[in-house]
Amino acid sequence: MVQEERYMQRCLDLAMLGAGTASPNPMVGAVILHDDLIIGEGYTSPYGGPHAEVNAVKDAYRKLGEAEAKALFRVSTMYVSLEPCSHFGKTPPCADMLVELQFKRLVIGCLDPFAKVNGQGLKKLQQAGIDTTTGVLEDACIFLNRRFFTRIQQQRPYVILKWAQTEDGFFSPEVGAKRWISNKASKQLVHKWRGEEDAILVGTSTALIDNPALTTRLWNGKNPKRILIDKELKVSADAAIFNEEAETIVFNAHQTHWQKNRKLIALEHFDLYLPQQMLYQLYLMDVQSLIVEGGAMTIQSFIDAGLWDEARVFVSQSRWNQGKPAPLLNMIMSTTQKVGSDDLGFYFNGQIV
């Protein structure tokens, strides 16, 4: 069992290399083991490309040659962090390929909740006589793909709340002014996070006061889709949030109009169940994960609706003595870590199962 967990952990480490590019597919890692030697490994390609299992097989072909690799597969074990797919999507079923290559054994981290898979891939392998083991590091495998599981099971994106607050609990100045709370290391980390998620959301006040571009300019990663709540369309078309670096979706009360990277979507009964309406629209647009960055009222609206999964809160050493209060979670922190002089706390809303 220790060996199985060791190689499944390698699958998880590989899978993380697909963060920010695999969506809306899950992040998956695969390792092929023969006589205690890894002869091939891979992870999910950017969306539309080969899955982890295919990339692991191709890696073995490159290392050994196709003929020798195929011969070894028959006496080899493949470790994979998520159940191999059993349906035709952007690519052919991985389960069919594994059956065709006659792998001796498959060790699977967790089953795939997607209705077209969900046990069917495992069933194909077992019917072909392949020895299978499931549930190795299962909790870790599910946690890795908590975005994918949430989208499939709850028909909405996985929602990450992010904010910084002072040591005495303030989010921003009382008057409309821009003032940094977290340090440079924390700011860079936030840009890394942006590259790992599908979209990032702010409200009208944040767009007007901070004029953010919401890009990953401090990190080498893709820019997320930008989501703006702007009921009355107050934010100017020349604001930084509308630059050419990414597309911007504007939820508003008046217009539906798509032009280049600026997409206006009018919501009926705008003030009624706003977080729910936005999340469902984003789900329909294949957005699998969303960072909510501000302002405080916008973040609090997701908290009050119970529509959040994870919160990442920076607490600086500064004290302002006055200002706008930070959002209230009323929840025990799960973990904490130091980012330079800042304390970073992580909170999770319920269990991903």
| Cα atoms in the 13 Å half-sphere on the side-chain side of 275 | 19
The Cα 2–Cα 348 span in angstroms is 29
296 is in an annotated binding site: yes
Q: Which of 53, 83, 197, 310 is catalytic?
A: 53
297 is in an annotated binding site: yes
191 is in an annotated binding site: no
62 is in an annotated binding site: no
64 is in an annotated binding site: no
11 is in an annotated binding site: no
Distance from chain centroid for Cα 52: 17
Residue labelled with tokens 């001796």? 104
Has 53 been annotated as catalytic? Answer: yes
- Long-range contact set of residues 53-56: C-beta below 8 Å, sequence gap at least 24: 53/28, 53/78, 53/80, 53/84, 53/94, 53/97, 53/98, 54/91, 54/94, 54/97, 55/30, 56/30, 56/31, 56/32
301 is in an annotated binding site: yes
DSSP-assigned states of every residue in 208-244: HHH------TTSSSPPPEEEEE-TT--S-TTSGGGST
352 is in an annotated binding site: no
Measured CA distances, 266 to 24, 125, 238 (Å): 25, 47, 20
Residue labelled with tokens 């975005």? 147
The Cα 169–Cα 329 span in angstroms is 12
Residue 296: which H helix or E strand, with range?
helix 296-305
194 is in an annotated binding site: yes
295 is in an annotated binding site: yes
210 is in an annotated binding site: yes
300 is in an annotated binding site: yes
Which residue ranges make up the annotated binding site for Zn(2+)?
51, 85, 94
Which residue ranges make up the annotated binding site for NADP(+)?
164, 180, 210, 295-301
Which residue ranges make up the annotated binding site?
51, 85, 94, 164, 180, 194, 206, 210, 214, 217, 293, 295-301
Residues annotated as part of the active site: 53
Which residue ranges make up the annotated binding site for substrate?
194, 206, 214, 217, 293
